[in-house]
Amino acid sequence: MNANSLIAAMKELVGNANVVDTPSDMEPHLIDWRKRHSGKAACIVFPGTTAQVSAVLAFCNDNAVKVFPQGGNTSVCGGSVPDSSGASVLLNMRKMNRIIELNPRNNSMTVEAGCVLADIQAAALEVDRLFPLTLGAEGSCQIGGNIATNAGGTNVLRFGNTRDLILGVEVVLADGRIWNGLRSLRKNNSGYDLKNLFIGSEGTLGVVTAATLKLFPRPHAIATAMLGVETVSAAVDEGLKLQAAFPGELVGLELISQSEFDISLRHAANTRNPFQHTPNWTVLVELAAATGTSESLADRLTEALNDSFSNGAVQDAVIASNEQQRGELWRIRHHVTEANGREGMGLTHDIAVPTYRIPDFVERAGRALAEHYPTAVPVIVGHMGDGNLHYIAMFTHEYWASVEDKAAVQLKLSHLLYDISAEMGGTFSAEHGIGSLHVAEMEMYKDAAEVALMREFKQLLDPRNTMNPGRVLPNAAVAD
C-alpha cells in the first residue's frame, strides 16, 4: 500500500487531528531517548480510544502494514522506534491517558495504557495508596510501555516486577479483536493466565490499551541511607544482613561503583557528594513501613548498621534526615543514564545473575574487559537486591569515534560479558527487554525449545507478522 493511501485511511479511522505525517512533526518520535536508534514511518497515529486502536490494527493487518507501538519512547534497547522501511504506522499511545477507576477499597486502579507512570504514582498517593513501580524514566514512560517490557526498577526486591503489579489487562490483538481482561481480582484460576503472555511481549503480540493495577498501603515511614564499602562481596553481605533485619521493610538495595558515582556527580545537575571521599562501592538502601515514623525507622537502621561499622564491613554511611536529603541521595542513582551519556560512549549490559554470584561476575567481567578492551572503564550500577547489574563498558567519545567497526566491537564485547553471565546461570536481559538490540542473543543464549514455543505463540496471535516485527524474535515467520 502506498504511503498516501495509508495516511488517508488512518485519517479516516481516527480523525485528521490524530495523524501526523510531516517529517518535522514525526522526527522526535522516530529517534530513541539515548539517540542511538532511529527509524522511519509513513505516519504517526495517536488513537484516543480502544475502538480506534482496534480499527487501526484491523486495517493494518488486512493490508499487511507493519505497526510499531510506542509509549514514552524511553526504551534503551531500540524497542520504541520503527524500522527503516518508512512504510509503517507508528502507533503512539499518549492520548489514551485517562484514569478509568481509582478504588482504594479494593487497592486497585484501572488506567489507560498511555498514562505516564509518575502520574499514576501521584494519583495513588492522593488516596493514601502506593503504586510501587519506580524507575529513572518515570516522568516519561507510560504504564503500557512498562507492561510491554515488564519493567523492573528500584522497588523490585519488595514488590516484584511490573508483572507482579498487574491484576488485569485490556489488549487489542493484531487482527483488531479486543480482549477485555480488566479484572481486579487477587485470585482467578479459571484457565490459562493470558495476561502474563502479553506482559513482557514488547508489543509483538498486541497493543495493551488499559490495565488494572495493584495498589498498596502508602508508607508513612521511610529511611534512606548510602553505605560506603570496600568490596562487592562486602556490599552483597551487607545486603543479605539488611534483608534479614528488615523483612517486608527493605524495599530498595542498589549498588553503585566508584566510577559510576563520580560520573553522576560530574554530569547530573544538582548533585553533591554526601561522602567526604567516594567509596569503592556504594550501597543505596531504602526501608519503608506503613506505620511508625521515619525517625524511628532511621534509628533502627542506624542500630542495625552499628555492628557492620564496628567490624569494618561498612566504612562510611549517610542516613537522610529529611525528604530533601533523601531526594539528593536518589538523584545520584536516578540520573546515571543521562550522566553516562555525557561522559562518553557507554556500552550497557543489563545482566542478572543469582545474587550471591555478583562479586564473581564483577571480578571476571573486569578481568575480561582489561584483557580485551583495556581502554574501557567498567562502570557499574544496578539493582543489587535482584542480582541485576547494568554493566557499562565506558569509552571516551574520542576513542569511540576512532573505532572503525563499532558494531563488531559492541558484539564481541557484549558476548564476552553475556558468556560469563550465562556460565553463572544468568541472563543477558534482566529488565530492559529485547527490543531490536538483543534479538540475536535470543537464539544464542536461550533454550531452542523455548524460542520455538515463543515463535508458535507469535504465529498464532500475529500470523501476518504486522505487530512490531523484528523485535524480540529473530525472523518471525510470516504466514501466506
141, 166, 232, 332: residue in contact with ligand FAD (rule CB under 6 A): 141
Site string for ligand FAD, 27-56 (x = CB under 6 A): ------x-----------------------
Site string for ligand FAD, 218-237 (x = CB under 6 A): --------------------
For every residue of 196-256, DSSP letters joined together read HHHTTSTTSSEEEEEEEEE-EEPPSEEEEEEEEESSHHHHHHHHHHHHHHSTTTEEEEEEE
Secondary structure of residue 350 in the 3-state scheme: strand
Nearer to ligand FAD by Cβ, of 203 and 378: the residue is: 203
CB of 275 to ligand FAD, least distance (A): 23
Which residue has the CB atom at the shortest distance from ligand FAD? 145
CB of 473 to ligand FAD, least distance (A): 12
Burial class for 325, CB neighbours closer than 10 Å (0-12, 13-18, 19+): middle
Q: Considering the rule CB under 6 A, would residue 200 count as an interface residue with ligand FAD?
A: no
Q: Considering the rule CB under 6 A, would residue 333 count as an interface residue with ligand FAD?
A: no
Q: Please state the φ and ψ torsions of residue 254, each to the nearest 5 degrees.
A: -110, 150
52, 61, 70, 224: residue in contact with ligand FAD (rule CB under 6 A): 70
CB of 402 to ligand FAD, least distance (A): 27
CB of 110 to ligand FAD, least distance (A): 15
Q: How many angstroms separate the CA atoms of 94 and 141, rounded?
A: 10
CB of 75 to ligand FAD, least distance (A): 3
Q: How many angstroms separate the CA atoms of 237 and 289, rounded?
A: 23
Give which of 123, 39, 49 is closest to 75, Cα–Cα.
39
Q: How many angstroms separate the CA atoms of 397 and 45, rounded?
A: 36
Nearer to ligand FAD by Cβ, of 141 and 352: the residue is: 141
151, 173, 225, 226: residue in contact with ligand FAD (rule CB under 6 A): 151
Q: Considering the rule CB under 6 A, would residue 424 count as an interface residue with ligand FAD?
A: no
Q: Considering the rule CB under 6 A, would residue 152 count as an interface residue with ligand FAD?
A: yes
Q: Considering the rule CB under 6 A, would residue 137 count as an interface residue with ligand FAD?
A: yes
Nearer to ligand FAD by Cβ, of 69 and 279: the residue is: 69
The runs of H, that is alpha helices, within 279-378 are 294-310, 323-334, 336-343, 358-372
Q: Considering the rule CB under 6 A, would residue 431 count as an interface residue with ligand FAD?
A: yes
Q: How many angstroms separate the CA atoms of 217 and 212, rounded?
A: 17
For every residue of 391-455, DSSP letters joined together read EEEEE-HHHHHH-S-HHHHHHHHHHHHHHHHHHTT-BSBSSS--TTTSHHHHHHHS-HHHHHHHH
CB of 230 to ligand FAD, least distance (A): 26
Q: Considering the rule CB under 6 A, would residue 111 count as an interface residue with ligand FAD?
A: no
Q: Which stretch binds ligand FAD (CB under 6 A): 64-72, 213-221, 406-414, 447-455?
A: 64-72
Helix (H) or strand (E) holding 179: strand 178-181
Nearer to ligand FAD by Cβ, of 106 and 121: the residue is: 121
Give which of 51, 327, 8, 337 is closest to 207, Cα–Cα.
51
Could you say which residues in the range 432-451 bind ligand FAD, by CB under 6 A? 432
Q: How many angstroms separate the CA atoms of 219 and 305, rounded?
A: 22
Burial class for 276, CB neighbours closer than 10 Å (0-12, 13-18, 19+): exposed
HSE-up of residue 305 (Cα within 13 Å, Cβ side): 23
Beta-bridged to residue 70, according to DSSP, are: 92
Nearer to ligand FAD by Cβ, of 73 and 278: the residue is: 73
Nearer to ligand FAD by Cβ, of 308 and 337: the residue is: 337
Using CB under 6 A, list all residues that contact ligand FAD.
33, 69-76, 79-80, 93, 113, 135-137, 141-142, 144-146, 148-149, 151-153, 202-203, 207-208, 337, 431-432, 468, 471
